[in-house]
């Protein structure tokens, strides 16, 4: 399964995290063809920041809204804020932080850990967070819930139609603006999400190994 995915700004590439390993996957422009260009490598060996805070695995990676090449990385009940510069990672804020002290909105939502997250299209500061069967929309600038906690099956018809109860990772498509890959278990689907927060299923669920050849045998 894919634990987390991050689209690398300015490149046709993703970081994919699975178990204790990660890899860098490259897509051919305007194509679904993809290849593994780096890895799989142990997270502890390839990421300076994660090694320093003892992150052997990753639950969620999501860009920091309104910033360039900064991202939040969640593992268990903790998170770090880092910067990625030409594949080199460094801390934006020193050390590791706990969700319970750094994200009052997630605590209020009852999210002690995070399964997946994605920026909300058409907003400057909002993030969708997924945990178990539920999700919540959070304003990163104010650390407040922009919408109450809602079951995924009720708020995301595209994900429900794909047959997914939970979300392991969600990441924007490289080749289609407004399209997103959603991973759950050993499968993935493609959805469209517009600025009105309306979502539709673009491509039905299929095995990750069928659509992402680059992940074969290690995810």
Provide the domain limits for residue 144: 4-215
Distance CA 105, CA 149 (A): 10
| pLDDT above 90 for 81 | yes
185 touches 7 (CB < 8 A): no
Distance CA 83, CA 138 (A): 21
pLDDT of residue 197: 84
pLDDT of residue 123: 94
Map tokens 């009720």 to a residue. Answer: 154
Q: What is the mean pLDDT of residues 55-64?
A: 97
Q: Residue 171 belongs to a domain with what CATH number?
A: 2.110.10.10
Distance CA 50, CA 70 (A): 14
Q: Structural domain tally of the chain?
A: 1
pLDDT of residue 195: 84
| pLDDT above 80 for 29 | no
Q: What is the pTM of this model?
A: 0.95
pLDDT of residue 188: 97
Q: What is the mean pLDDT of residues 174-183?
A: 92
Model pLDDT for residues 106-147, shown as the tens digit of each residue: 999 999 999 999 999 999 999 999 999 999 999 999 999 999
| Confidence band for 163, pLDDT divided at 50, 70 and 90 | very high
pLDDT of residue 176: 87
SS3 per-residue string spanning the chain: CCCEEEEECCCCEEEEEECCEEEEEEECCCCCCEEEEEEEEEHHHHCHHHHHCCCCCCCEEEECCCCCCEEEEEECCEEEEEEEECCEEEECCCCCEEHHHHCHHHHHHCCCCCCEEEECCCCCCEEEEEECCEEEEEECCCCEEEEEEEEHHHHCHHHHHCCCCCCCEEEECCCCCCEEEEEECCEEEEEEECCCCCEEEEEEEEEHHHHCHHHCCCC
**What mean pLDDT, rounded, does the chain reach?**
95
User: Which pair of structure tokens corresponds to residue 66?
Assistant: 């309104």
pLDDT of residue 203: 95
């Amino acid at each position: 399964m894919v634990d987390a995915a991050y689209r690398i700004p300015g490149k046709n590439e993703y970081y994919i995290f699975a178990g204790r390993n990660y890899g860098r996957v490259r897509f051919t422009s305007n194509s679904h063809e993809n290849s593994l260009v780096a890895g799989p490598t142990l997270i502890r060996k390839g990421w300076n920041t994660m090694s320093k805070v003892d992150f052997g695995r990753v639950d969620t990676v999501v860009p920091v809204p309104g910033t360039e090449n900064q991202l939040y990385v969640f593992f268990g009940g903790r998170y770090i804020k880092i910067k990625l510069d030409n594949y080199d990672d460094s801390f934006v804020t020193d050390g590791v932080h706990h969700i319970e002290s750094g994200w009052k909105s997630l605590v209020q939502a009852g999210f002690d850990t995070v399964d997946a997250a994605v920026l909300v299209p058409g907003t400057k500061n909002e993030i969708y967070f997924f945990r178990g069967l539920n999700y919540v929309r959070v304003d990163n600038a104010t650390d407040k819930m922009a919408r109450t906690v809602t079951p995924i099956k009720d708020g995301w018809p595209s994900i429900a139609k794909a047959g997914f109860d939970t979300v392991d990772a969600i990441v924007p498509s490289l080749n289609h603006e407004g399209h997103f890959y959603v991973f759950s278990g050993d499968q993935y689907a493609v959805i469209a999400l517009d600025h009105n927060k309306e979502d539709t299923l673009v491509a039905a669920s299929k095995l990750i190994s069928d659509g992402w050849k680059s992940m074969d045998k290690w995810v």
